[in-house]
Amino acid sequence: MPINKGDAIPDVKLVKATADGPVPVQSRDYFAGKKIALFSVPGAFTPTCSAKHLPGFAEKADDIKGKGVDEIVCTAVNDAFVLEAWNERDGSGDVTMLADGNGEFAQALDLVMDGSGFGLGQRGQRWSMIVDDGTVTQINVEKPGDFSVSSADHLLEQLG
């Protein structure tokens, strides 16, 4: 069953992409004590992800943080090097990249999509959520092929 409002973030290893290289983090520790706007994309450098999803959060970062969010985080089933390069091209320093290279986070959330028909293999679905001190307070999972409820604009509306 997919993660829902009120559920705790599962505890798995992720890799934070930084300019100095990859840094391993435990998800439960990383999300503790902070309010985080978290979003997932099926893949770095893919059309909708690069043209709309990541740039939307980069453009709205100040507005989102102005609503009490401590950090904006993007996750994808990609390695940290790819996510760092993608963020440099299409994102901003206002978005933290957490690589889910093996898809363990997506699996633990039960938000996996099968992109093998497009040569992508198993990936994370497109979604956004608010995580407050490790607990999901808002979650927005897209229908396959859609991009609306996981956008920065939609999340901003939910933040009030």
Assign residue 145 the CATH number of its domain: 3.40.30.10
Give pLDDT, residue 119: 60
User: Which one has a higher pLDDT value, 39 or 117?
Assistant: 39
**Is 117 inside any structural domain?**
yes
Q: How many residues does the chain have?
A: 160
Nearest to 38 by CA among 148, 122, 137, 110: 137
Alpha-carbon gap, residue 42 to 112, rounded angstroms: 9
Find the domain containing 134 and state its range. 13-159
**Is 136 inside any structural domain?**
yes
Q: Is 59 helix (H, G, I), strand (E, B) or coil?
A: helix
144: confidence class by pLDDT, cuts 50, 70, 90: confident
Active-site positions?
49
pTM of the model: 0.93
Nearest to 87 by CA among 100, 103, 98: 98
If residue 48 lies in a helix (H) or strand (E), which one and from where to where? helix 47-48
> Tens digit of pLDDT for each residue in 39-87?
999 988 877 878 889 999 999 999 999 999 999 999 999 999 999 999 9
- Give me 66's structure tokens: 């102005």
**Is 114 inside any structural domain?**
yes
Give pLDDT, residue 60: 97
**Is 137 inside any structural domain?**
yes
The count of structural domains within the chain is 1
Exposed/middle/buried for 85, CB within 10 Å: 0-12, 13-18, 19+? middle
Give pLDDT, residue 49: 77
- Please check whether residue 132 is in contact with residue 8, taking contact to mean a CB–CB distance below 8 angstroms: no
Alpha-carbon gap, residue 44 to 1, rounded angstroms: 26
The yes-or-no verdict on residue 132 having pLDDT over 80 is yes
**Is 22 inside any structural domain?**
yes
